[in-house]
């Protein structure tokens, strides 16, 4: 007991020892009771001494190190400023860069440099969400949806089906008041997109500012119309697109027509141009975030993280789209099997490739890949892709194929994700993609004579 009482011990241990002595002092023999009381008093003195030291040191630390929190301390402020400076340097050196412009001919290249200055400007992605997946995921939620009132039209297809078109006539156009000659912009949404997607609405808004008319081609069965035949759509089949373009040409023979396609809509446009060559009324085409090689696109989307973030969700969207028309489709397809698909590849194997008569899904993917038809494109086509797009990986972007065709130009940004291209502190109103669209549309419509012979 003497050793315990005299040894310096931690605060909590000292308190415990004293408490036990107080509890058992009465049990000691009379000869030891006085000595135990002395040991207890010494321990209490030691306890008071330790407590005073601790409180004194703690008070000194609080007064000198954390007077007003992290930002009030010199160390905290230094850390914040240092991190901010380091992040700014990294952003300016590695993130904000000029896009790479590639063209198969000097004439198209210089046309874009002269009439679309955005192709030469540094792209500054939104500094707090420049990573590709974040850009892709946030685009639908961050960007505003401009108010657009459409005029819907249903036209008949050759197989008896119907196609839904949403028109924005822009009858208030000041620069093109005559409806017969007002330029027309055809817009094609992505895989499960409609005329209500934010990126489509922004392009309609840009076209309205330019005085042009817009028409959105909604793929069969996705915009609320009834599916009259057991057939939907795919990137390889361009029959419905041909029907729509012919319909526009018949109704507005004197109107200049250009087109813009996003993601799968861009793939469909590129495949259409590759098949038609010069036999089209389109004066120019711009394509955003297209998947050039479907095999590479699906392989990228099947990586664990991208499968979790994108693949499963898009598959469920495809299934929801066909489920609405199940009474018509289940007469020809095993819809229970289709609804059990867990990836886009499985959905295509069980539904899309069978619907369009391909011997296998590989045959369908080869036919749907626009990279194989780029050499046949005879209309000026500008293609915007981000190098970090997980839907269309950078190694599959057809740089060499573009270099072989004077009618093609490729604009590659380091960042932007898939249909992201967010820029500015709070990217609500406009994106880099919107600026590319507006400048190219204006150049094609108003300076199109310079694009008549690019070879």
Could you please report the per-residue DSSP string of 391-419?
A: SS-GGGS-HHHHHT-TTEEEEEESS-TTT
263 labelled catalytic: yes
41 labelled catalytic: no
14 labelled catalytic: no
CB atoms within 10 A of CB 256: 20
Cβ-in-10-Å burial (0-12, 13-18, 19+) of 359 comes to exposed
371 Cβ contact partners less than 8 Å away, ≥ 6 residues apart: 292, 293, 396, 398, 401
CA distances from 174 to 179, 210, 369, 445 (A): 11, 9, 41, 16
Rounded Cα distance between 393 and 301, Å, is 10
CA angle 349, 352, 355 (to 5 degrees): 115
- Among 15-29, 117-131, 263-277, the least confident range: 15-29
Element (H, E) at 287: strand 282-288
Using the structure block, give the residue that is written with the tokens 């696109």. Answer: 297
Element (H, E) at 163: strand 162-168
CA distances from 20 to 4, 12, 34, 45, 86 (A): 12, 13, 16, 16, 57
Structure tokens given for 390: 């997980």
Active-site hit among 14, 173, 263, 300:
263
3-state DSSP call for residue 109? helix
> Does pLDDT of 32 surpass 70?
no
Residue range 98-127: mean pLDDT, rounded = 95
Q: What is the DSSP letter of 118?
A: G
Q: What is the DSSP letter of 281?
A: -
Structure tokens given for 343: 């990836």
- Among 83-87, 126-130, 256-260, 294-298, the least confident range: 83-87
Question: What is the residue-averaged pLDDT of the chain?
Answer: 86
- The neighbouring-strand residues paired with 123 are 97
pTM: 0.82
Please report the pLDDT score of residue 191 as a whole number: 95
CA distances from 169 to 185, 193, 281 (A): 10, 21, 19
Structure tokens given for 142: 């961050």
Nearest to 158 by CA among 260, 276, 237, 262: 237
Q: What is the DSSP string of 205-255?
A: HHHHHHT-EEEEEEPTTSSS----SS----SS--HHHHHHHHHHHHH-TTS
Please report the pLDDT score of residue 23 as a whole number: 39
- Among 96-110, 131-145, 235-249, 276-290, the least confident range: 131-145
Residue range 206-225: mean pLDDT, rounded = 96
CB 289 within 8 A of CB 270: no
Residue range 422-430: mean pLDDT, rounded = 85
Please report the pLDDT score of residue 56 as a whole number: 52
User: pLDDT confidence of 57, banded at 50, 70, 90?
Assistant: low
Structure tokens given for 44: 């209490």
Active-site hit among 389, 392, 415, 430:
389
Rounded Cα distance between 335 and 173, Å, is 47
Rounded Cα distance between 409 and 384, Å, is 9
Please report the pLDDT score of residue 455 as a whole number: 74
Strand arrangement, sheet containing 381-386: 100-103, 408-413, 381-386, 282-288, 257-262, 184-188, 213-218, 162-168, 151-156
Structure tokens given for 200: 């489509």
Structure tokens given for 114: 């002269």
CATH code for the structural domain at 99-293+369-446 = 3.40.50.1820
Element (H, E) at 258: strand 257-262
Residue range 263-286: mean pLDDT, rounded = 97
Cβ-in-10-Å burial (0-12, 13-18, 19+) of 425 comes to exposed
CB 36 within 8 A of CB 28: yes
Proportion of the chain above pLDDT 70, given as a percent: 84
Active-site hit among 176, 325, 415, 418:
418
Most confident by average pLDDT, 1-15, 90-104, 156-170: 156-170
Rounded Cα distance between 327 and 344, Å, is 22
b/e code 142-159 from CB counts within 10 Å (16+ = b): bbeeeebebeeeeeebee
Q: First and final CA of the chain: distance in angstroms?
A: 103
């Amino acid at each position: 007991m003497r050793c315990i009482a005299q040894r310096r011990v931690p605060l909590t241990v000292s308190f415990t020892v004293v408490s036990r002595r107080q509890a058992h002092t009465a049990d000691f023999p009379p000869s030891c009771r006085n000595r135990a009381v002395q040991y207890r008093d010494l321990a209490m003195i030691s306890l008071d001494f330790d407590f005073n030291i601790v409180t004194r040191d703690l008070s000194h630390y609080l007064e000198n190190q954390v007077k007003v929190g992290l930002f009030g301390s010199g160390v905290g402020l230094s850390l914040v400023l240092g991190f901010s400076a380091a992040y700014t340097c990294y952003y300016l050196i590695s993130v904000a860069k000029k896009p790479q412009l590639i063209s198969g001919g000097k004439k198209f290249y210089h046309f874009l440099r002269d009439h679309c200055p955005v192709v030469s400007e540094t792209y500054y992605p939104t500094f707090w969400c420049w990573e590709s997946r974040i850009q892709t995921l946030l685009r639908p939620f961050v960007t505003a949806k401009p108010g657009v009132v459409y005029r819907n039209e249903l036209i008949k297809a050759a197989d008896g089906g119907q196609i839904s078109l949403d028109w924005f006539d822009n009858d208030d156009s000041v620069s093109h008041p005559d409806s017969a000659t007002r330029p027309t912009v055809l817009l094609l949404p992505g895989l499960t997109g409609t005329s209500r997607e934010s990126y489509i609405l922004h392009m309609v808004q840009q076209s309205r500012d330019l005085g042009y008319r817009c028409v959105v081609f909604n793929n069969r069965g996705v915009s609320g119309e009834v599916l009259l035949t057991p057939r939907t759509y795919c990137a390889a089949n361009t029959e419905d697109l041909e029907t729509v373009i012919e319909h526009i040409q018949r109704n507005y023979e004197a109107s200049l027509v250009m087109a813009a396609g996003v993601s799968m809509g861009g793939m469909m446009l590129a495949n259409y141009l590759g098949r038609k060559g010069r036999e089209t009324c389109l004066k120019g085409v711009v394509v955003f975030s297209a998947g050039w090689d479907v095999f590479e696109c699906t392989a990228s989307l099947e990586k664990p993280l991208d499968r979790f973030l994108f693949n499963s969700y898009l598959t469920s969207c495809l299934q929801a789209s066909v489920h609405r028309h199940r009474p018509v489709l289940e007469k020809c397809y095993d819809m229970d099997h289709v609804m059990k698909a867990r990836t886009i590849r499985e959905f295509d194997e069980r539904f899309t490739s069978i619907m369009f008569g391909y011997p296998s899904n590989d045959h369908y993917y080869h036919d749907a890949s626009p990279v194989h038809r780029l050499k046949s494109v005879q209309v000026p086509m500008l293609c915007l892709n981000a190098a970090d797009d997980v839907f269309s990986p950078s190694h599959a972007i057809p740089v060499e194929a573009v270099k072989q065709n004077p009618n093609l130009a490729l604009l590659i940004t380091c960042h932007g994700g898939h249909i992201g291209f967010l820029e500015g502190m709070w990217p609500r109103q406009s994106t880099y993609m919107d600026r590319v669209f507006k400048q190219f549309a204006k150049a094609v419509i108003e300076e199109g004579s310079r694009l008549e012979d690019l070879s």
